[in-house]
Chains A and B, each alone.
Chain A
Amino acid sequence: MSDADEPTRYRRMQDLPSTHLLGSGTSLCAGCGGLGAFRELYEVLGERTVVVNAAGCMSLLATHPFTPFRGSWLYSAMASAPAGAQGVRDALDILIAKRRIPADEDLDVVVLTGDGAASGMGLSATSAAIDRGLDFIYLCYDNEGYGNTGQQSSASTPHGARTATDRGPRGYPGVKKDLFALWVANRPAYAATIIAAEPVDLARKVEKAKRMKGPRLLLALAPCPPGWGFDPKDSIEIGRLAVRTGVWPLLEYADGRVVRTKHYEPRLPVERYLERQRRFAHLFEPRRDEQTLAAIQTAVDEACARVT
């Protein structure tokens, strides 16, 4: 049996690591869904990592002279985290080949990037890294906008959401870019969607990705209290609703096919998710925008029908 076939350690909440590896005291917003997902991931991945961080909200993790990490952190411009990861990977490989460090002191190279960098500026560097078969984990915290600068629309903003740059009555006119599908189309070693509100599913996927080699995507929906307009205490609840309505299906790509790792049937209507966020308030007030609500529901239904 190869490593990748090992049964999971994570079946119930009680199996999750009980020690928190990531330091507290970071200046990220209270209730940050991206920080929640990253902290859960870091606890499973362990401290033997080098985090290559594209500019974004998570820039606030390590603001000089403070760091919440137990290992190294490399900061990069928005477009170039995968290129930075290549450099780190190469350096580690060379040091091991020259026996300047023993092989068992190897580190996992993790790119940490927001959706703005991942599906916009950093996409070509990401695409090239997948082409080269770079051995790295790519964690994107998707808060569906340029959260660090006041939630302007990004390529990842959902249809109809009001943002700092789409303030009109119809919100963002575009359609959310499907970063997961982009990765899958390029046959990476592994790709999965995750969310902080489902920590067992998250831990199992991180555990699986950790055992593999090659380009691996972990795409986390990151509920954003100030950007999406909800109370920080509802961060987990909003995440649960994203999964239970099918807005954020928990998917996994391995061995050439995409499967759903967690089913909630029947799915809740998308309204239950949308009505909790100020960015969608214009769909309900002053009158219900039936057309847009129906379009969002149809898009979710179709996306869910494509995977089993």
Chain B
Amino acid sequence: MYRIRLHGRGGQGIQTGARILASALFVEGFETQDSPLYGAERRGAPVSATVRAARAPIRERGLPARADLIAVGDESLLGVAAAGVLRDADERSWLLIRSGVAAEIWRSRLGRSERVATFALEVEEGAELPLVGAACAGAAARMLGVVSRASLESALERELAALSAQARAASAARAFAAWDELAALAGCVTEEPAPIGAPLPRPDWVDVPLDPADVAAPDIRVPLTSVQVRTGLWRTLRPVIDDALCRRCSWLCSSFCPDGAISIDPDGRPCIDYDHCKGCLVCAAVCPPHAIRVEREAGRATEPEKVG
């Protein structure tokens, strides 16, 4: 059985990518399962989707204990512990990263001896979103080596039917470009026999004692606990205030930030709280002197996470 996981951010079409991959495998005669995991979080937040495929009926349920292939649509997620990109990866697992950085550099960054591949895909501003997911599906399909180009094409048609003709064509072109790019690795990912019935470790929550009320129900007893949630991890683009251009108007960016992530310091200067800025960029859009520029978060992937 193949067990494949795709990672990306909400809005990048990762769930669609998993569906395309599962569909292509289905056309090839596999039994398939695909299941996204995104909790209550939204656009920009880490999401993953799992695909299982086997020639025999699939009786496994839930999250697989390990993955044969982990495809990462957004390299900035590798620096985000909460995204769990490397969970359940062992020395047999292949790691595929959408990145302009070479595979050997990723190997040394991640401390892996082998089995890391990359593919390049620049997504221009304003492009329709499923591009990234479709490209991951194309690349993953090639690495499995059991999906034909025709099956991938048929899966793309089926799963992208709801999009405009232009968006469909663009996504398909990206999927095939990634497919072509990974030709040298065709078939490198191999099936792992199903560990059905393998004894599972006893879950560690069984003996958790009851917490006192102020720990178990802090939302009743303590205000503003939400600031502990670092929604800044969602950001793919970062607003940066240019101090020289800022007119200290002290209200527009701060008043319009939906998350209240811009405060005004005593001398009237706005200050962005990057732990919570989700990168919506409303502040940059409303700033009259255009004093807020937009930078990509990518490249910050290997910065260590700040704790607390």
Contact A233 B280 (CB under 8 A): yes
Indicate the size class of the contact surface on chain B: 35 or more
* Interface mask (A11-24 → B, CB under 8 Å = 1, otherwise 0): 00110101110111
B228 contact set on A, CB distance < 8 A: 25, 66
Contact A27 B263 (CB under 8 A): no
Give complex CA distance A167, B252 in Å: 37
Contact B254 A32 (CB under 8 A): no
Contact A24 B44 (CB under 8 A): no
Give complex CA distance A71, B222 in Å: 9
Residue of A nearest to B236 (CB): A30
Whether A167 contacts B224 in the complex (CB less than 8 A), given A13-B251, A25-B276, A232-B280, comes out as: no
Residue of A nearest to B45 (CB): A27
**Residue B219 at the chain A interface, CB threshold 8 Å:** yes
Given A24, A33, A72, which contacts B259 in the complex, CB threshold below 8 Å? A24
B220 contact set on A, CB distance < 8 A: 72
Interface centre among B220, B223, B249, B286 (most CB of A within 10 A): B223
Contact B11 A226 (CB under 8 A): yes
Whether A27 contacts B255 in the complex (CB less than 8 A), given A18-B264, A226-B42, A236-B286, comes out as: no
**Residue A45 at the chain B interface, CB threshold 8 Å:** no
Shortest A198–chain B CB gap in Å is 11
Residue of B nearest to A14 (CB): B251
Contact A237 B285 (CB under 8 A): yes
* Interface mask (A28-41 → B, CB under 8 Å = 1, otherwise 0): 11111101100110
B251 contact set on A, CB distance < 8 A: 13-14, 16, 18
Contact B229 A32 (CB under 8 A): no
Interface centre among A16, A72, A196, A232 (most CB of B within 10 A): A232
Chain B residues with CB under 8 Å of chain A are 11, 40-45, 126, 162, 164, 216-220, 222-231, 234, 249-252, 254-256, 258-261, 263-264, 273, 276, 278-282, 284-286
| Listed A/B pairs (14) with beta-carbon separation below 8 Å | A13-B251, A14-B250, A23-B224, A23-B226, A24-B231, A25-B227, A26-B226, A27-B45, A39-B260, A62-B226, A68-B227, A69-B223, A70-B223, A199-B255
